[in-house]
Amino acid sequence: MAYSYYSRLSSRQQAIYRASDRVGEIPLPRPAALRPSVQALRASLADDDRRAVASAAATLSQTLLQQLGAPAVALTVLAVRPSRKWGELHGLYTADEEKPAEIRLWMRTARHKRVVAFRTFLRTLLHELCHHLDYHTLKLADSFHTEGFFRRESNLFRQLVPSVPPAEAAAPDPPTSARARRAVRPKQAPARDKKGARTGEERQGRLRFDSGERQ
């Protein structure tokens, strides 16, 4: 079942959406090799050690991407999540024509400044990696939030944390305003602001999209 924004897409975009929706898994060749990094991430979050969190997250993401033959990303872990009226920003994926893609993650909640729960942090990392994999592994021309996209996120999580029951590992239903979040490749349909004008970042050949709580 397509999300509500599907009807607003062009025919070409709908075809990409359907292609994304058909893929529910991304099998990892050697998931067991990644689990020590997952445990290091869990431990560093428990220790409230941002440098160790960044190191574990970077090792996990780069090793995962290497297994899938995808290019590396630059990864940065920041402190307190930015927040706006719509909620808190959990993660941000940015791709630029002139440098490697970047993922930014935040490890403290905006309201209480508490360290983010391990599963929430790992799911956010995998969410942003799924956007990267849409382009470089699935070879999609665009990256949409589809049911298939969230199934892929859950599938990666279950491979890395196999003891979690499938129902508990399943991604929560994305809030309506988050469902339409997507990225557009530079030199194709331009990203636009609410008034339909090209954004400054799009003019620089950059794309970005985020994950977070929407109200």
Average pLDDT, the chain: 83
Among residues of the chain, what percentage have pLDDT more than 70? 76
Q: Tell me: pLDDT of 36 over 80.
A: yes
Reduced 3-state DSSP string for the chain: CCCHHHHHCCHHHHHHHHHHHCCCCCCCCCHHHHHHHHHHHHHHHHCCCHHHHHHHHHHHHHHHHHHCCCCCCEEEEEEECCEECCEEEEEEEEEECCEEEEEEEEEECCCCCCECCHHHHHHHHHHHHHHHHHHHCCCCCEEECCHHHHHHHHHHHHHHCCCCCHHHHCCCCCCHHHHCCEEECCCCCCCECCCCCECHHHHCCEEEEEEECCC
Q: How confident is the model at residue 203 (pLDDT cuts 50, 70, 90)?
A: very low
| pLDDT on residue 65 | 98
* Predicted pLDDT of residue 60: 98
**Which of the residue ranges 70-84, 91-105, 163-177 would you say has the lowest mean pLDDT?**
163-177
